[in-house]
Structure formats: C-alpha cells, structure tokens
A and B are shown apart, each in its own frame.
Chain A
C-alpha cells in the first residue's frame, strides 16, 4: 500500500505560545489591510492634490489647526497609556491596567468630542462633503478614521470589562496586546492625516 508514513504524538489543541504568535500575526495582517483601505484615499489625495494645487492651498486654511493639533496630542497620549497598559498587564497589575485602559478610552472619547465641534463648525459655515474635492477628501478621510476610533473604543471597552473581571493575567493577555496594536494603528493613521489635511498648504 502506498500511504505517507504517519507517526503519532499527543498534541490536541493550540498551545498558548502558538496562540499568542498566531493572534499577533493575524492582527498585523489585518492592520495591513486597514492601511490598504486608507491607501485608496491616500491615492485619491495624491491625485487630486496634483490636479488642483490651488484648491488644496486655499481650502485647507478653512480647517482648524488648533483643534487638529489638540486631537493629535490626545491620540498620541492615548497610545502612550495604551502601551503602558499592555506593559502593566504583562506584569500582572490588573488594577493599573484597568485605569490605563480607562484613560485611553477617555482620550478616545475626547477625540470624538473635538471632532464633533470641528464638524459642527464646518456645517455652520455651509461646508459639506459635496462642497469641493478637497472637503470630500477631508470628510471621507477623517470620517473613516473616526469610524475606526469608534471601533477601537468598543474594543477597549470590552478589554476594560474583561480586565475588571480578572480575565487577564501576566500569563494570558493576548487580547489586550492585540487590541493595543489596533489602537496604535488608529493613532498612526491620524498622524498622517493631520499634516496632509491641516498643515501642508
């Protein structure tokens, strides 16, 4: 009989080390797809900026740099607290982790509030997504980013609840680390959006 030689061992499920590396690998792949999703918008930005340099120069002045800068600081700070939270849970400090997650969530909410006022001011000036290509890009890019902030907030909230329930320890904390990666991506994308839309004239 022709059959491949098969020997036996006793491994039934994924062991924790494989699960940890799989989860991280999976998240990195997913973050890659997120960057490609925004990549379409960045490509559109590059094309239209080359096509209408005056429009981009004139209309970017309408954006509120101060609010954008505040939001940049908020998000970078929240990435810091997120990273500290990951370190904390790896050392088994559940309470500290919960506090740091809470701070991160508050930062995310704060970002949303600032954005709310920013959008409100635009609408008050009768600036909408169909006003011009520039503002189409502005609303699409920041809007899609805002959507990611919301998703990130939901993930962080779930992590917070699970942390308070004591699900995570120094041995098992993959979800927090993976959720943290996602939050860093949200921050990273904003770091590109801010100069492209608000600063470059």
Chain B
C-alpha cells in the first residue's frame, strides 16, 4: 500500500482555470511560480539580446555600431536586468515557489496572499524600471558613486525599481523560511528534506539578511541625487568608498542568492539520472548554510583597488578563499555521486554536467581574483567578466536551464522534444565557451571591461568571442522554441517520467490545486535510489 501514487478523488489540474485574472489574482504557489518564470524569462531574453548587441559592437576595434554612450547604457541595462530581474529572483522565486510546497508535502506556502503580493511588487519594480528607459542610466549595474550621483541619466528611477524588487525578494524569502519551518509534512524531518529545499532555505536566509542593506544603500543614493545628502560625496565630507562597502555587503551575498538555488537543482538532478543515492547528503546540505555564512565576510574583495588598507585587503583575501571550501565540498560530492552511477544523459542531466564543468572553471578563476596580488593586475579587466559569466551563466543559467528541462513535465504536463533539447544544449555549451574563454586571455593581457572600443591587437580574440555569442544565442533560441512548442504539440507527460523519488513526482502532472489530496506521511529520505534505507543519522 505504501508505495503507489497518491490517489485523487476529484483531480483538477492547477492549470485548469483560464483568463488573465485567474493568473494575476491567484494565490496558488504553482501559478505564482509560473508568472515569475514567464517574467524572468522575458527579462533574460531582453538582456540576452542586449548582450548580443554589445558583442556586435565589439566585433571590430572601432565604435562603428553604437557610440560609447549608448554602449555604456547597454552594459548598464544588461547588467541590471540580468542581475536584479533575472538571476536574483530567478530560480529562487520561480522554481522555489513551484517546488517548495510540493517537495515538503504542503498544500501551499505559509502566506499565499503575501506570496501574490510579492509578485505584484516585482511587477511594480519592473514598471518603474520601464519608466527609467526614457533616459537610461549609464553607470554600470553597480551604480558606483560619485559618478552615479552626478550623471544626468535617470539613475533614480532604475535604483528605485531595484529597491522595490528588493522588497519582493525579502518577502519571498520570508515566506519560504516560514514555510520550510512550519509546513513540512509529518515525517519530513530536516535531514530528510530534498537538497533543493536546503538550498532554498539558505538562499532565503541570505535574501532576508542582505537585501535590506542594499535597500538602504540605494535609498541613500536616491537621497543623494534628490535631496543633496552628501554621504558618498567627498566634496560634502562624505566617502564614496562607503557606498562600495554598503553595496558589496549586500551584493556579494547576493552572488550566492543567485548560485545556491542552482546548486540545489543540480543536487536534485544528478542522483535521479545517476540512479544513486546522493553522496554526502549532510555535507551538501550544510555547505549551503556555510556558503551563506561566509558570503557575509568577503565583500571587500571587490575593493582591493579602491584604496582600502593593505591589512584589510589581506584579511579579506584570506576570508575569500574560505568560500572555496563549502563550494568544493558540493562539487566533490556531486562527482562522487556520479562515480559508478548508471548515468542517463537526459537533457537536464547534460545541463547539470555542464554546470559542474563550467562552474568549476568559474570557481577556480575566482581564486585568482581573490588573491590580492593577482587581483591588482586583473581587477576590472575582461578576466573578471569571464569569471563572473562562468559563474553566472555557467552556474546559475545552466542550473536554470537544467531545472527548466527537468521539471518541465511536472509544471506543464507536457513533454518537449528531447533530441532538439540536446542539440540546443550542445550549442549553448559550445557557444558559451567560445564566447567567454577567450576573455580570460583578454583580461590577462590587460583589456579593461566596459569599453566600446579596443586596441587592434585584441581583434582576433574579441571577434572570436563575438562569434561565440552568436552560437550561444542560437542555442538559447532553439531551446526557447523547443520548450514553447512543447506546450502546444508536446506529448502528455506521465506522472513520474524519470522514476524519481521526491514528493513532487508522486502527484499527477500537472499537479492538482491543493497539491496533495491528502497530506503525505514521509517515512524515508528522498535519495534512496537503489537502496531501501536512509543512511545512519
């Protein structure tokens, strides 16, 4: 009796109701997750197109496609949209919303109305930023003072938009923490939680602790521009380095808001397609919290060249290396899970393997930048650009695509074309490497970031990078078309296409309104593939 799917007397899929209002007013966490998915995907594609435009400008050394000012606007928009509108809310809000209640055996999140409110706040933030497009900012996504306080572009609107998004992020994180604490099904102990839940939990803690600080930082910047407050203005006795301290105190932990959910996704995908229990469950779970903790101690490694004391720089350099420990724990445990597994190369598994490969490169090059002496040379060069894209695209975006392909049948009750998905993965993987690997060499040779023009000697590497961006763009295009086509033409998805053990696969695809006809009693951990029992506590 114990191991059959949950029976439903009246099964109404959550996608049943039609009409735009049935979405915008829905408190169903699954629908809110989809609304986030649609919104963030939109911004991902827009910011991606902007990136293609920037690469097009960089095809030749001269500024022949756009002028430098336009280029400044483009990289500001690209960074702001990607960071604040896509990767920060990205996996946490879309997949977190959809999966957390399903995975812990709850009918919904703890505060469904607040959840809907968070989405509306997200929409409000996006509207404000749309207004900011009339005179778009040219400061870069970090909005560094004193330039951001003096430029005549519309910094106030875009930072206000980001401030509002921060609220959305805080409320979502709060909701998830309370949900995970209070709504777990009977028997779902902390040490039986799926690792995606652990990752979401660590992310939510970061969202709660870090976001208010960037909130006040942006408010102060707005006050600086509107009221003439001088906290960051040396002419008024203020200190521009203070802005950088405040900004990175948030934004460095935010880097982990972006990556930890993706790590959670990888921890779900790998055991399913290796058909093995995850290796080192607790180490992976607690390393998420470890990363979250250490992430607060390292912010000043962004400021080695900003004029902080050499003692402080040395200490922050050392602390930065500490982050490598919990991160490496995860990578080793994923690899150990794969060892002697019976590996099935489903498209989501390909993205997971891509994640491990690319994220490892991103992580190791992070050590170069964390090392004080090397950073002095590499700071603000293309090396940094390559590093952060290896972490953000190679990590977060690979995790996002993996999650998209993995849970697609559950979300929509349809299947996509697996062959096309694999071709798209190949193009994304190759295109990504061709785009960003040359940038490591550009950086080492001294090419600074954020310039529309460059010396002729860099042309071969620069244009190689641009060709790569076309392959990458083509891959994302094919993937998008394939996933959208699956919605209309895809076969009906079975309840549990990968024979996965976690709770969300034990309900029909797509899931019913209240998730579970009856709240399940959990009697075993999630990763017992090929084994009957959970490991000793």
Interface of A toward B, CB cutoff 8 Å: 1-14, 18, 21-23, 25-26, 29-30, 32-34, 36-41, 43-44, 47-48, 51-52, 128-130, 132-133, 136, 139-140, 144
Contact = CB atoms under 8 A, between A and B. Distances in A.
B238 interface: yes
A11 B519 contact: yes
Interface in B472-528: 499, 501-503, 506, 514, 518-526, 528
Q: Indicate the member of A3, A48, A52 with the most B CB atoms within 10 Å.
A: A3
Given A4-B503, A13-B107, A139 B523 contact: no
Contacts of A47: 239, 242
A133 B212 contact: no
Nearest to A35: B212
B175 interface: yes
A10 to B, nearest CB: 6
Contacts of B220: 40, 44, 140
B165 to A, nearest CB: 14
B216 A41 contact: yes
B205 to A, nearest CB: 9
Interface in B205-237: 208-209, 211-213, 215-217, 219-220, 223, 227-231, 236-237
Nearest to A29: B174
B236 A4 contact: no
List the 5 shortest-distance A-B pairs measured between CB atoms, nearest first: A130-B228, A40-B216, A36-B212, A7-B521, A5-B2
B182 interface: yes
Interface in B227-286: 227-231, 236-239, 242, 246
Contacts of B216: 37-41
B182 A18 contact: yes
B208 A33 contact: yes
Q: Indicate the member of B107, B177, B215, B216 with the most A CB atoms within 10 Å.
A: B216
Contacts of A52: 237
A6 B520 contact: yes
Contact of A6 (B177, B211, B236, B522): B522
B408 to A, nearest CB: 21
Interface in B113-153: 114
Contacts of A38: 216
B230 A130 contact: yes
B179 to A, nearest CB: 8
B374 interface: no
Interface residues on B, range: 35 or more
A136 B503 CA distance: 53
A21 B182 contact: yes
B376 interface: no
Contacts of B83: none
Given A3-B506, A9-B519, A40-B213, A26 B3 contact: no
B178 A130 contact: no
B110 A8 contact: no
B186 interface: yes
Nearest to B534: A4
A5 B209 CA distance: 37
B6 interface: yes
B208 A7 contact: no
Contact of B229 (A5, A51, A140): A140
A37 B212 contact: yes
A26 B175 contact: yes
Contacts of A11: 518-519
B213 A39 contact: yes
B178 A25 contact: yes
Interface string B184-208: 0010000000000000000000001
B56 interface: no
B332 interface: no
9 contacts: A2-B529, A4-B524, A5-B3, A7-B520, A22-B111, A39-B213, A40-B217, A128-B228, A129-B228
B183 interface: yes
Given A4-B501, A36-B212, 20 more contacts: A2-B499, A2-B529, A3-B506, A5-B522, A6-B523, A8-B6, A8-B518, A9-B186, A25-B182, A33-B170, A33-B209, A34-B212, A36-B213, A37-B215, A44-B242, A128-B227, A130-B230, A130-B236, A136-B227, A140-B223
B227 A129 contact: yes
Contacts of B525: 4
A48 B233 CA distance: 13
A51 B520 CA distance: 60
A13 B518 CA distance: 10
Contacts of A26: 110-111, 114, 174-175, 178
Contacts of A34: 212
Contacts of B215: 37, 40
A78 B269 CA distance: 54
Interface in B33-55: none
B530 interface: yes
B300 to A, nearest CB: 14
A9 B236 CA distance: 66
